[in-house]
Structures are given as C-alpha cells and as structure tokens.
Structure 1
Amino acid sequence: MVLGKVRALAVCFDTLNESNLPVFSGGEMVSGRVLVDVTGDVRVRSLDVTARGVAKVRWTESRNAGANTAYTQNYTEEVEYLQHRDCLIGEDRDEDAVDDASTLLRAGLHEFAFSFHLPQMALATSFEGKHGSVRYWVKAQLQRPWMLPVKTKKEFIVFEHIDINTPLLLAPQAGSKEKTLCCWFCASGPISLSAKIARKGYTPGDSIQIFAEVENCSSRVVVPKAALYQTQTFFAKGKGKEIQQLVSNLRGEPLAQGKSQSWEGKLLKIPPVSPSILDCPIIRVEYALVVYVDVPGGLNLSLSLPLVIGTIPLHAASSRTSSVSSHGSTSSWVGVAVRPEAPPSYNDLAFSEAHRRHCLRGSEEHHHVHQATSLLTYISEFRYLPPPLYSEVDPYPDPAGVCCVQEATTLETCPSR
C-alpha cells in the first residue's frame, strides 16, 4: 500500500468578531478546528494542539571594555499568561518513543475540534513593540511514525478592556507653568502657560478638547503647541528601556512680545492607536498630552498631562457628569462640553477568514514564511495607522545658545465632582 501525504495542516477559529478576526478577552472560551488534508491514507501517531500567550522583552547593548575590546550585554525577560495543551489524536507520549500505535487517516479533509478557556486573570493586551511583544497563538503539530512532524500555528488577539467610565479616568487634568528667560545680563519677562482637559481617559477616535492660556512677556516670538506622545517602556534584568514616539500634534499662532493667546477647546484628534498597557510587569504602554511653548534658542516651556487610552468609550451619563464638573469649577476656565466620538469600528476590518479550503491554501503559503506572523499585521487590519518612526532622540534638546532659565512649576489634578 502506497501511503499518502499531508497536503496541508491549518488552524481555524470558530468564534470571530464582525470582521472575521479572532478577538477575545480574559475568561472567554476559544474554540476552533484543526484541518488536515491528506492525498492518500496517512498513519498518524498523534495530533496535538498547544495554546500559549507570552510577553517577551529583548534588547542588546554594547559597551567598551578597553582600548581594543568590547562586550555585548543581552537583556531578556519573559512572562507567560497562557499555556494549554490538548491531544486530539493518540495519547500523550514521548516524541522519541518507538511505539508504533497509530491512527489511519483516509484520503480527504479531516476536522478536529478544540476548545479552552482563557484565564480569568487580567491578561496583557496583544502588542508589538520595538523591544518586546505580547502574543497569543494556537499551534498544531501532527506526528507520523518515522517522519518529521508537520507544524502550523495561528495567532489570535487578546484585548484587556479598559473602561474609561471610572472616577479616576473621568477626573479633569490641569496644570500651569512659568519661566523667565535671560541671556547674560539681558533679562526678559516671563512666559506663562496654563492648560486643562476634561478627563484623563479617552478612546481612539476621540478628540481631546484643550483649554489653554499662554502669555508671552519675553522679548522672543514663541509658538504654543500640543502633542500626544506614546511611551513604550520595557523591563529586563532590573533595567528599563524607553521608547517615545509622536502620535499626533497641533500648533497655535505665533505670539509676539506682550501678546497672549487662549485655546477655548482646541481639538486634538486621537488616531487609532494601541490601548494603554499598565498591568504587564515587563511592558508598559503609556500616553501623555504635552502642551508646550516653543521658545526659539531656548528650552521649551512644557506641561505634561498623563492620559489613559481605553477600549470602552465614554457613556452618555459619564459625559454629562464630566461636563457638569467642568462647568462647576471655580476657576476661570470655560465649561468643557464633552462630545465623545465613537472609537474606530472593528466592523471596518478588511481581513477575511475564508472557508476551510481557503484556510488550507493559506497554510501552504504559511510554511514558506516565518511562522510567527507579526501582530502588527492584525493591528493594521484594525485600521491602525502605521506608527511614526521610533526615535530615541530627546524631543526637547538643549539649546545651542547660552541661556539660563528660571522656572516655577505648579501641576495639579482636579478631582472629579
């Protein structure tokens, strides 16, 4: 008897979202099928399914150890969130076992169901960064007697939901700063900056209403600006690595000496970005709104307001509460009329999970590329814009000229009422 061959091995998920993507949260059930297509009779010793979820961090640093020598230090760390294994054909046995017990698969297409629950614990959201990632996947392995195993794996997405309708994330954020510029013995007046936003929590697609006051009593022409930054921090072996990138920005009108400028709810749109990651011990993704005054030839006067990018948008009741809290403030701020926008809809995803034959064709191509497909592919399907180029350059470099700066700072967080 001439034995057949394994034409394709694929993993398909049963539970998909409206856009045919496998997206889950902690505690939910993940179910699917392993598809095996054989051209003839094939003896199978075992068919295993393994599910894993791992956060990994890795970067390398080189240091000089002398005139002609150098050494490289690797920083790696790993946290496991999920590990599950099912044996769909055969029994658990050592891969090197000589036991010839096997199952005969006839020519054609075969389906084997699998299912497991994600842990109830808080899982890290799927993420892909420069020095680390959080990935979840299901791997299928087909063992045949006296032959190399056939393997395939498919990633799925996990979102740890962040509800911005909490008192902490609904609290308005405000602060003020002032600095006086002087070069040698020529002193100029101060530059003052005050800024306020309605709340700390937002979702992608929202617009941040910025209320700011800038007064320029210096002898220079300055420009008020605002920018949203994402900061990725990776931890390994007691050391941290930080990457900051610009997400969105806007600028105001130039201010001459003695002039002032007010932003009465100037809007800064939040593009589709990854949600904040705050609970993973080795990877953190944080956001901050920086309102600053661009000072030519000197250090910028900047005010940083921390933000949290969530996944559950603002409810109507929370919107009214936030608006009332802002109107009731005893400060001179104009009331903040919060009009939240819906976050990017996952219904617009372009990725398609075709029928099982299409899965098999995709798995054949999958064997010719790296098995661990970057999660950034999925993120792009969520209409997440390509992130800006990573940069480790200080966004606020020291000026070339010789200046001395006197700065008085007041930063406060307004409690929600």
Structure 2
Amino acid sequence: MVVGLLMSIVLENEGKNGYLTGESVSGQVVLELLEESEVVGLYLCAHGEATVSFTPKRGVDGNQNVSTSEEHEYLNEKIPLLVASAGERHIFSAGKHKLPFSFQLPASNLVTTFTGKYGKVQYQLSAVLQRPSVPDLTIHRELRVTSRIDVNSPSLLTPIEQTKERMVGCWFFTSGPISLSAKIGRKGYCNGEAVAIYAEIENGSSRLIVPKAAIYQTQSFIVNGKTKTHKQMLASVRGNHIASGSTETWNGKTLKIPPVTPTILDCQIIRVEYVLAVYIHIPGAKRLMVELPIVIGTVPFNAFTYRNPSVASQFTVDMSWLALTLPEQPEAPPNYADVVSEEDLSWCSPSVTEQEELLDGLCFPSFAIIQEFRFQPPPLYSQVDPNLNHTAESTVPFALEE
C-alpha cells in the first residue's frame, strides 16, 4: 500500500451467497488520498478460473510421479473506470473519492465458487490504479459466484427408487434374505431442506440389523486423463434395530441437508456430486446399500406448483394424510345453542322477570345486558344432576347400614 493513498472495493448488491450467474455486479472503487494526486487511469478486472493440482499414485515400476496440474478460465473482463486521453490530466484532491462500476455476469458457462481437496474454483475483482512516475497499485477482492440450478425443472422433480436384496450367510449356513426398498419424491433439493425418505426393510435373516441413511459428497478432480476423488459423509440418520423375521417401514423419515456447495457438473476438471445412501448394517456381513443420486440446487423448491401423490403409493403404509389440504374458507365455530340442550339452556338462563328487574336496577345500556346473557358459559361439570334442586322432593342419599 502506497503511503498517503488507500484504495478499496465496495460491493453494493452482494447477496448472502454471492451472485447468481446472469446477475449484475455493482459497487464502487473508493480512493482515500492524504494529498493531491494525479491519476492516469483506473480500471477493474473480473477474473475467474478453476485449478486442480495433485500427485498421482506411484506406478508399478516404482518411479515417483511428479505433481500434475491444470487450469481452466471462466471469466476475464476488464471494465475501465477512468481513462486519460492524450494531453488530459485527472487531478484528485485530498479526501475520499468514489468511482462507481457495474457489469453483468454471463448467464451461462460459469462454475460455482468451490474449494475442495485437490482443486478450487475462484473468482476475484482487481482494481488497478495508474499514476505517473510510480508503479501501478493493485488490490483484490473475492467474488463469490453461484451457478443457477433450478430444482423445479422436470428432470429434478421425478421420484427416485431402488430395491436390493441379499442372502445372509454362505453354503449350508444361509439364514435368509434381507430386502431393502427406498424411495424419495424428487431428485433436486436446496441447502437446509429435509429429504423425506420412504423405505421398507424386511429382515428374513437370523441376525439383528440396523437401517441407516446418509448424504455423501464426492469430489472428482481430472487432469490429463487421471482422476482423483474425495468422498465424505455430510449428514446421517439411523432407524431402529430390526429383529429376525421383522419388518420396518420409514414413512417419510427426514434427513436435513447441511450448508454445502451446489452440485457442479459443468466444469471440465472438477465435479461435485451427491447421493443419498440408504443402507443396512449387518453383523458379520457386508452392508446392503442403495444409492439415490440427488442434485443440490440454488433455486428453491416451489411446493405450490408441484404435487406428487405417488411418492409413497407403492408402500404398504397408510399415506392418506399426504392428501389433506386446508379448506379455502375456514368454518365458523358452532353456535352455543347448537351444542347445549334446551333444558340446560333454560335452567342456566334467568327468567324474563329476572331480566326486567336487572334492567331496571342497572344503568347500563340494554344491549350490553342482552349480550351478557346471550353468550352463556358452558355448564360446570358435576356428577350430581343439577335438576334435582328443582324437584318437589329431595332425594336422600343412600347410606350403608352398619
């Protein structure tokens, strides 16, 4: 940083997760001068690229492989903010000066910002200040870009289902089959959403098994035909133990997606993919697993424009509650007179004479008194019949003789 000069880049419309492809990027380059200075030129550069670097495994001959790397450029734009023509001079006085800028990101061919095990996709803004007789001053700022993936597209709204079965044991010691069927309502989800899992697990073996589900991320890095992968578990959930001869059904068991990088499939050297794995841990045997591929998008799911009642239609559980909908207009509560008998109402309400005496003795408006008696509270609960007080004879309680 040059003494007497401060320069910074301020973004105005940056969202929580950066900018979506196709959006406009606007802001200011701020100059703070302690003394008067001449500026020859000022321009802004927007640059983005994907880079991968790793060392392949040692070959069969035992020779040590050298590290290999590759780069792929996705964005390279130069936006002039101040250009001095021949013979023209730009003199800036001491103080703060703001030079606005605005440009639009391409609607396609941009990959989401990402940092992985062996590579990354990175974007940045660079402001370059040119002054006479001194080296150029350059500053950088990260620019987060997110590719637009709409989970409401038809290809991401289709249900996904897989079924597998395995015999547990070997030769004459085979105990029986274990079957697993899992299904989800759609393929596309966004960060923070909960995936509803529908599954049926049947344990025909003699062993105690445990069903589980997990979301896995797989990072793939490709350089010169060689691929390096990194797989990690992001979230998991487990079911109950299933005894021999028993069956368990997941009627929409939920697994929440944590904050992760959206799916990356449009980069030549980096891929980021996700699967929802439903599997069964079997003691003494290899686990039984089905993998349902999912896509993590950036445009949220719109439940009002999508209905898929067939998600759980192939399972034996009762899923009629999924079809419940709220009425268009709420129903009014029942009238008090409709739920209380005429006998109880006449006993609780005062007579006409009593009402007239109350009206004569009180100075309140008649409407207030009428409203007071119109909405009577419900009768108090009692095991003794209240109508016994209005009979001619009183009933003596029965007492046991000693």
In 2, distance between residues paired with 1:334 and 1:150?
Answer: 69
Residue among 31, 42, 48 paired with 2:43: 48
Residue among 11, 22, 33 paired with 2:9: 11
In 1, distance between residues paired with 2:292 and 2:285?
Answer: 22
Describe the superposition over 1:93-131 as per-residue Cα deviations: whole angstroms up to 9, x where unpaired.
xxxxxx998643322222222222212324212222122
Residue among 226, 241, 247 paired with 2:228: 241
- Worse overlay, 293-302 or 33-42: 33-42
Unpaired stretches in structure 1, ≥5 consecutive residues: 93-98, 340-417
What residue identity is the alignment partner of 1:176?
Answer: T
SS in 2 for 1:317: helix
In 1, distance between residues paired with 2:121 and 2:323?
Answer: 34
Conserved 8 A contact 2:179-2:202: yes
Residue among 302, 311, 326 paired with 1:326: 311
Is 1:127 paired with 2:114?
Answer: yes
Is 1:305 paired with 2:298?
Answer: no
Residue among 31, 53, 62 paired with 1:58: 53
Conserved 8 A contact 1:28-1:117: yes
What residue identity is the alignment partner of 1:79?
Answer: H
Conserved 8 A contact 1:137-1:155: yes
Conserved 8 A contact 1:203-1:313: yes
What residue identity is the alignment partner of 2:279?
Answer: Y
Residue among 63, 69, 74 paired with 1:81: 74
In 2, distance between residues paired with 1:286 and 1:64?
Answer: 28
Q: State the partner residue of 2:145.
A: 158
Conserved 8 A contact 1:37-1:109: yes
Is 1:220 paired with 2:218?
Answer: no
- In 2 relative to 1, CA 48–166 (structure 1 residues): closer, same or farther, beyond 3 Å? closer
SS in 1 for 2:56: strand
Conserved 8 A contact 2:193-2:257: yes
Q: How does 1:245-264 map to 2 (within 5 A)?
A: 245-264=232-251
- In 2 relative to 1, CA 264–180 (structure 1 residues): closer, same or farther, beyond 3 Å? same
Q: State the partner residue of 2:160.
A: 173
SS in 1 for 2:205: coil
RMSD of the TM alignment (CA)? Answer: 2.7
In 2, distance between residues paired with 1:270 and 1:117?
Answer: 31
What residue identity is the alignment partner of 2:81?
Answer: L
Conserved 8 A contact 2:183-2:311: no
SS in 2 for 1:261: strand
What residue identity is the alignment partner of 1:247?
Answer: L
- In 2 relative to 1, CA 312–335 (structure 1 residues): closer, same or farther, beyond 3 Å? farther
SS in 2 for 1:326: coil
SS in 2 for 1:171: coil
What residue identity is the alignment partner of 1:82?
Answer: L
Q: Which has the higher strand share?
A: 1
What residue identity is the alignment partner of 2:80?
Answer: C
- In 2 relative to 1, CA 298–155 (structure 1 residues): closer, same or farther, beyond 3 Å? same
Q: How does 1:61-140 map to 2 (within 5 A)?
A: 61=56, 63=58, 70-90=63-83, 103-140=90-127
Conserved 8 A contact 1:45-1:145: yes
In 2, distance between residues paired with 1:75 and 1:185?
Answer: 52
Question: TM-score of the superposition, structure 1-length normalised?
Answer: 0.70
Describe the superposition over 1:235-282 as per-residue Cα deviations: whole angstroms up to 9, x where unpaired.
221222211111110111122222221111111111222221222222
In 2, distance between residues paired with 1:207 and 1:309?
Answer: 12
Residue among 265, 283, 305 paired with 1:296: 283
- In 2 relative to 1, CA 235–66 (structure 1 residues): closer, same or farther, beyond 3 Å? closer
Q: State the partner residue of 2:386.
A: none
- In 2 relative to 1, CA 84–194 (structure 1 residues): closer, same or farther, beyond 3 Å? same
Describe the superposition over 1:210-234 as per-residue Cα deviations: whole angstroms up to 9, x where unpaired.
1111122223221111111111112
Conserved 8 A contact 2:56-2:66: yes
